[in-house]
Amino acid sequence: MALERNAQVAAWLRDSKHEICSHGWRWEEVWKLSREEERAHIAAAVASFKATCGRRPLGWYCRYGPSVHTRELLVEEGGFEYDADAYNDDLPYFVQVSGKQHLVVPYSFTYNDARFVAGTGYGSPADFLDNLRRGFDQLWDEGASAPRMMSIGLHPRLVGQASRTHALAEFLDHARAKGAVWFATRLDIARWWQAHHREFALAP
């Protein structure tokens, strides 16, 4: 609905390479909806993106967390390649939903700028930068032998503050200096995982 009210942003997204991932039809607590209401709201969100951005979302992430029905409804809808309604892992993984294999690309608050306001971490931009850099360096070392994913949550109203933007830019320079770092959308990651996950499956 935000894009319906901001046509210029929707038009820019239509022509950009950014991924459109649905955060829900409205910012609502979906567990308070009936199954049928939630199904209708998922359909409304998909239709709204098609109308405003010219393409549907292929990923889903509930604003306040999913209901017990969300994942089944996403699989039932049939057009989603993944959801991000999980905080329980550092890598994508598959779950069985209604007899079908469904991909989860977990989200994370570990490297999220929401910690500036959530009272759970960042006291300053320097704290933000230190956390990002240390996490990246550790994952870089581990990535020499296995895939690693670093999920950085950013919100313009939060990281857009000048001092925080400066810290983010410094981190990006640090990461780029390594060379072979892939800055990917979640859809990019989902498709890569679909294609390559068997190469990294654990032996029974």
Q: Along the 204 residues of the chain, how does pLDDT read in single tens digits?
A: 999 999 999 999 999 989 999 999 998 999 999 999 999 999 999 999 999 999 999 999 998 899 999 999 999 999 999 999 999 999 999 999 999 999 999 999 999 999 998 777 788 999 999 999 999 999 999 999 889 999 999 999 999 999 999 999 999 999 999 998 999 999 999 999 999 998 877 544
86 and 18 in one domain?
Answer: yes
CA 164 – CA 24 distance, rounded (Å) = 27
Q: How many residues does the chain have?
A: 204
172 and 128 in one domain?
Answer: yes
pTM of the entire structure?
Answer: 0.92
At 77 the three-state DSSP class reads: helix
Terminal alpha carbon distance of the chain? 46
Strand partners, 101: 96
Last residue of a domain, one of 107, 127, 153: 107
Residue 27 pLDDT? 87
| Structural domain containing residue 187 | 108-204
Residue 203 pLDDT? 41
Domain count, the chain: 2
Would you say 86 and 109 are in contact if contact means Cβ atoms under 8 Å apart?
A: no
114 and 100 in one domain?
Answer: no
